[in-house]
Amino acid sequence: MTDQNAHHGNHGIKGYLLVFFGLIIGTIITVAAWKVHLPTLFLTVLVALIIATVKASMVAAWFMHLANEQRMIYAILGLTFFFFLGMMLLTVWAYGDAPKIHLP
């Protein structure tokens, strides 16, 4: 193996290790956030989603090679996120429209 190939191979392993340790740290933060009882359910869910988004972004950027992609990929990803967020907001908005079931 030439020096150039060895250099690229080590760079790849270094990136995987950085993501691995980042995910380990994210998991530790997740467990620590679970131990802390936040005052509202909304705040608890918000913190959990922020932590999950950061961890998912690290995985997507490195393992799906999004860190080196063109603008078109980011536009498609942004559009997908926009529609996903819209569907989630419509679900939350329609939550109050569900019929109430009264059991005897």
Query: What pLDDT, on the 0 to 100 scale, is given for residue 13?
Result: 85
**CA distance readout (Å), 72 to 49, 76, 78, 83:** 26, 6, 10, 17
pTM for this structure?
A: 0.56
Cα separation, 24 vs 55, in Å, equals 10
Query: What pLDDT, on the 0 to 100 scale, is given for residue 65?
Result: 74
* Residues 41-97 pLDDT 10s: 888 888 888 999 999 988 888 887 776 667 777 788 889 999 999 998 888 888 777
Max avg pLDDT among 3-7, 71-75, 96-100? 71-75
Checking if the pLDDT of 22 tops 70, the result is yes
